[in-house]
């Protein structure tokens, strides 16, 4: 390393440390720029400057605790790459190194600018175009996440231009088009995503939503899409409220009723689940699953969803021949809801079939107490008490 380059590196690191001590670290890499206390004028051999930048990148990759532009090591690497580019603006290696640094740290807006500069001198670099496409994807997603639909679509479109095989950009371009009321475009984008990734269940699901979106309208489809996004982010209550908004805007939106019901069951909200499935089963396209869940929600509203779910799981085990598992499940159901007559009756049945007559008599007795009109339980109660 020449004395000039060593002097440059010392000034670069000093500027980085000064900047680190006088700026507030942000949590979003897309809003913080590399800062130098005093801009360093490129001096020395451009090749040596580029080598210095590469060394700093290697140090950042091996020693840095996080890939973030505010990290001292990465900031020094980015500043060094900027200096290398200023020293030789047409050097593809320097331009590429700078762009890769910004991609590595997730500084997407700066990465966009840097990749544009590189691709002007190396327009046929396919791998660089793919990496530049990832920057566009992240810019589009960031705009979508902050609710800026208008500025979300251009980055996704540019991503597809840079990398036509990028299924994620097609998927999210479809989501943005759907929420913008551009249903035909949304269908085309989801079809493209499925062509690129045929097993993508999200693309397949939203293709169906987009194909039917004309029946629901932009307000309902936007509410549905945002609810789905909240669900992906783990905000289940916000997602449930969003699905309710979708069905409020379009009462014929069967997919929104289903998602509302499924999520309400998961949240143990029996009343919301029952309302959702009551609506779904009366719409065209209602399925056996919808009717099953309607029954589960209705029963859950009476005895509690924990008890109703335990009963149904136990019944499935009984049907499969797992009597031990069934007995444990029916016991769990009556533990959760001591007045659950049907669960007591089935618990008694399993015990009776196992010739555990004393236990069966207790269970059938509880069933009759819960429902005095249950003639079957009354009959087997007498048999159990007689030990036969």
pLDDT at position 335, please?
Answer: 96
Residue identified by tokens 């003639």 is 375
Asked whether 152 and 144 are in contact (CB, 8 A), the reply is: yes
Say yes or no: domain 126-215 is CATH 1.25.40.10. yes
Q: What pLDDT was estimated at residue 41?
A: 55
Rounded CA gap, 185 and 188, in Å? 5
Does the CA dihedral 229-233-24-79 come out positive or negative?
negative
pLDDT surpassing 50 at residue 83: yes
CA neighbours within 13 Å on the CB side: how many for 223? 23
Report the pLDDT value the prediction gives residue 67, as an integer from 0 to 100: 87
**pLDDT tens-digit map of 97-137:** 999 999 999 999 999 999 999 999 999 999 999 999 999 99
CA–CA distance, 229 with 146 (Å, rounded to integer) = 12
* Longest Cα–Cα distance in the chain: 104
Residue 42's pLDDT is what? 59
Burial of 288 by CB count in 10 Å (0-12 exposed, 13-18 middle, 19+ buried)?
A: exposed
Residue 19 has which token pair? 């900047």
Rg over CA atoms, the chain: 31
Q: Cα dist. 175→89, 168, 217, 223, 330 in Å?
A: 39, 11, 14, 12, 44
CATH class of domain segment(s) 314-386: mainly alpha
Q: Taking the model in full, what pTM does it have?
A: 0.67
Q: Where are the alpha helices (DSSP H) in the chain?
A: 3-22, 46-63, 72-87, 92-104, 108-121, 126-145, 153-162, 167-179, 183-196, 201-212, 218-232, 236-249, 254-266, 270-280, 288-303, 305-319, 323-336, 341-353, 357-370, 375-386
* Spatial separation of the C-alpha atoms in residues 203 and 174, rounded to whole Å: 9
Domain 1-123 in this protein, CATH class = mainly alpha
d(CA 23, CA 79): 16
- Mean pLDDT computed over every residue of the chain: 89
Give pLDDT, residue 18: 38
- Give residue 66's pLDDT: 84
Domain boundaries of the chain, sorted by first residue: 1-123, 126-215, 232-303, 314-386
| Distance from C-alpha of 175 to C-alpha of 207, rounded to nearest angstrom | 10
Q: Looking at residue 108, what is its pLDDT?
A: 97
> Domain 232-303: which CATH class?
mainly alpha
* pLDDT confidence bin for 43, thresholds 50/70/90: low
Same-fold call for 126-215 versus 314-386: yes
Region 313-323 average pLDDT: 94
pLDDT at 56 over 60: yes
Report pLDDT digits (tens) over 324-374: 999 999 999 999 999 999 999 999 999 999 999 999 999 999 999 999 999
Handedness of CA 12, 16, 19, 21 (dihedral sign): negative
Give the confidence band of 388 by pLDDT, cuts at 50, 70, 90. confident
pLDDT tens string 13-32: 444 433 333 333 333 344 44
pLDDT tens-digit series, residues 143-175: 998 989 999 999 999 999 999 999 999 999 999
Segment 262-298, tens digit of pLDDT: 999 999 999 999 999 999 999 999 999 999 999 999 9
pLDDT in tens, 222-258: 999 999 989 988 999 999 999 999 999 999 999 999 9
C-alpha 364/C-alpha 381 separation (Å) is 5
Q: What is the pLDDT of residues 182-223, one digit of tens each?
A: 999 999 999 999 999 999 999 999 999 999 888 999 999 999
Q: How does 3-38 read in b/e, with b if 16+ C-beta sit within 10 Å?
A: eebeebbebbbebbeebbeeeeeeeebeebebbbee
């Amino acid at each position: 390393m020449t004395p000039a380059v060593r002097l440059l590196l010392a000034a670069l690191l000093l500027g980085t440390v000064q900047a680190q001590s006088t700026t507030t670290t942000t949590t979003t890499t897309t809003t913080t720029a590399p800062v130098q206390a005093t801009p360093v004028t490129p001096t020395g051999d451009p090749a040596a400057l580029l080598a210095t930048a590469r060394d700093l990148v290697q140090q950042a990759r091996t020693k840095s605790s996080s890939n973030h532009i505010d990290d001292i090591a990465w900031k020094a690497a980015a500043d060094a790459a900027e200096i290398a580019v200023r020293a030789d603006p047409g050097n593809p290696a320097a331009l590429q190194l700078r762009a890769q640094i910004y991609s590595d740290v997730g500084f997407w807006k700066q990465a966009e600018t840097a990749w544009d500069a590189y691709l002007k001198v190396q327009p046929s670099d396919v791998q660089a175009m793919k990496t530049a496409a990832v920057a566009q994807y992240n810019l589009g997603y960031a705009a979508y996440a902050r609710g800026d639909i208008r500025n979300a679509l251009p980055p996704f479109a540019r991503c597809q231009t840079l990398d036509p095989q990028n299924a994620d950009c097609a998927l999210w371009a479809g989501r943005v088009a759907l929420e913008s009321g551009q249903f035909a475009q949304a269908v085309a984008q989801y079809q493209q995503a499925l062509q690129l990734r045929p097993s993508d269940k999200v693309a397949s699901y939203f293709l169906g939503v987009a194909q039917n979106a004309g029946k629901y309208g932009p307000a309902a489809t936007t509410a549905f899409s945002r609810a789905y996004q909240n669900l992906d982010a783990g905000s289940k209550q916000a997602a449930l409220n969003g699905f309710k908004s979708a069905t409020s805007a379009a009462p014929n939106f069967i997919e929104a009723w289903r998602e509302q019901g499924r999520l309400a069951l998961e949240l143990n909200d029996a009343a919301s689940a029952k309302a959702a499935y009551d609506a779904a089963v009366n719409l065209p396209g209602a399925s056996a699953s919808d009717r099953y869940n309607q029954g589960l929600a209705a029963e859950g509203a009476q005895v509690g969803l924990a008890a109703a779910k335990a009963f149904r799981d136990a019944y499935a085990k009984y049907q499969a021949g797992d009597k031990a598992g069934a007995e444990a499940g029916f016991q769990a159901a009556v533990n959760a809801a001591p007045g659950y007559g049907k669960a007591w009756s089935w618990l008694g049945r399993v015990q009776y079939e196992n010739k555990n007559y004393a236990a069966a008599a207790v269970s059938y007795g509880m069933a009759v107490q819960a429902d005095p009109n249950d003639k079957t339980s009354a009959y087997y109660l007498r048999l159990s008490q007689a030990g036969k």
